[in-house]
Amino acid sequence: MKEKFLSTLLAITAIFAIVFYAINCRPAWSPDSKKVAYIYSDKIGDEEFSGIAIYDLEKNENQSILEIKKSNKEDIFPYEVFWIKGGKEIIYVLGPTDEKTSQTVTISRYNLKTKERKKICETMMPEISAGKSLVFPVTLEKGRWLWISDGKMFRRLDIKTGKRQEFRDRDFIAFGSEKKVAFVEKFKDDKIVFGKIKDLFFYKEAPLFSIPIEAGAGEILPILAIPTKKIQFAYIKEVEEGYSLTVLDSQGKVVKEIALPDTISFDKDSSIMFASAVWDSNGESLWLPVEVLDENGEKYNAITEVNIINGSVSLIKFEDKNYKSKATPFYLSLSPDEKYLASEVMLEEGGVHLGLVDLTAKERKVTFIHHPATISQKSGSTKK
């Protein structure tokens, strides 16, 4: 049973790791919700590249601040980007595309005013690569402690001192936000433990409650996200009718159980969703990438929006009229004013871009923001 806990999450790794490597980043919003930083990737001719761009919603402008060509000499890619409180700097993480190329993770900062980039620290992380750490959430706690996994073990890195703390094994998963970090862990007695991290004066893992895994029952798949204003957890469970969503408070009491439409699928090829979900601040709405079966029996990827208060479930389909290929949303991020939902979007024909969902409109409108046009336009800005 031990290996079952993360087997579904890890199954997706090989599929996504080959897509230009820059796809495990949650878009980062500026504190005023006017801009969003995101990781993009694409291929022009035989050249693959990835980078970090900032999209300005008010000016409708998109500007790259970092771009990396994939070559034998520079086989690295952006892992994650964070917008620091105050809005003047962005912190980003670079890592190897393959564990054979390097074991070094580099954390740097970008000054939005001076346009300068500066390395903060770097650390060796055994076996880290796109293929092994892809499905695990990356969190920067209080602008100082970076939570990151190499697929076998979680590490908490102090980016100011370069010191790191290692955890037991792959059955421990940390996740959360700037202000709080929670964890789930698989125990040997077939229980999944939910807890929170305390570190006001000293570091402590505080288990809150556990969920038993019953023999022969559907697998419990925890959602790796919590609301910002409260401690609240959720998990997906396979039931006879399909799948259900269970929401729990900080003591493990069931807040809501919601049956999900039978057209929604949670097979191994869509398991990246558990590290991709996002709550609103009060824990009243949840957004989650899913795979959907349409009336013709064809599969497509969408975002399911769940209203925890009334139990309603709706789907947000991602389509771009400029592209005939399928678009897959993943790694979601809610703007601080909660008016927009940002998503990394992978096109079937290749390339990772930004998708924005307007949450103020009853009919959810999706806008695709494509990365700055070509490799030669590294420092320029282009209109959408």
For residue 267, what pLDDT is reported?
A: 56
Average pLDDT over residues 35-55: 86
- Dist. CA 129–CA 233, nearest whole Å: 29
- Dist. CA 260–CA 315, nearest whole Å: 11
For residue 99, what pLDDT is reported?
A: 54
Quick one: pLDDT band at residue 14, thresholds 50, 70, 90? very low
Query: Quick one: tokens of 184?
Result: 């789930």
* ∠ Cα 63 117 356 (to 5°): 30
* Residues 38/64, Cβ–Cβ less than 8 Å: no
Q: Is the pLDDT of residue 269 over 50?
A: no
Mean pLDDT across the chain: 81
Average pLDDT over residues 57-70: 88
Per residue in 126-151, pLDDT (tens digit) is: 666 555 555 678 889 988 998 887 76
* Residues 319/337, Cβ–Cβ less than 8 Å: no
CA distances from 155 to 60, 123, 170 (A): 38, 11, 11
Per residue in 82-119, pLDDT (tens digit) is: 998 888 999 998 877 665 556 778 899 999 999 999 99
Beta bridge partners of 36: 29, 55
Three-state secondary structure along the chain?
A: CCCHHHHHHHHCHHHHHCCCCCCCCCCEECCCCCEEEEEEEEEECCEEEEEEEEEECCCCEEEEEEEEECCCCCCEEEEEEEECCCCCEEEEEEEECCCCCCCEEEEEEEECCCCCEEEEEEEECCCCCHHHHCCCCCEEECCCEEEEECCCCEEEEECCCCCEEECCCCCEEEEECCCCEEEEEEECCCEEEEEEEECCCCCEEEEEEEEECCCCCCCEEECCCCCCCCCCEEEEEEECCEEEEEEECCCCCEEEEEECCCCEECCHHHHHHHHCCEECCCCCEEEEEEEEECCCCCEEEEEEEEECCCCCEEEEECCCCCCCCCEEEEEEEECCCCCEEEEEEEECCCCEEEEEEECCCCCCEEEEECCCCCHHHCCCEEEC
Beta bridge partners of 43: 48
Name the CATH superfamily, with its identifier, for domain 4-383: YVTN repeat-like/Quinoprotein amine dehydrogenase (2.130.10.10)
CA atoms within 13 A on the CB side of 295: 0
**Cα first-last separation, the chain:** 48
For residue 249, what pLDDT is reported?
A: 96
Q: Percent of the chain at pLDDT above 70?
A: 79
User: Domain ranges in the chain?
Assistant: 4-383
For residue 380, what pLDDT is reported?
A: 39
- Choose the most confident range, by mean pLDDT, from 186-190, 258-262, 346-350: 258-262
For residue 12, what pLDDT is reported?
A: 36
Quick one: pLDDT band at residue 152, thresholds 50, 70, 90? confident
- Following CA atoms 309, 311, 315, 316 in sequence, which dihedral angle do they give, to the nearest 10 degrees? 0
CA distances from 226 to 16, 286, 328, 354, 360 (A): 25, 10, 23, 23, 22
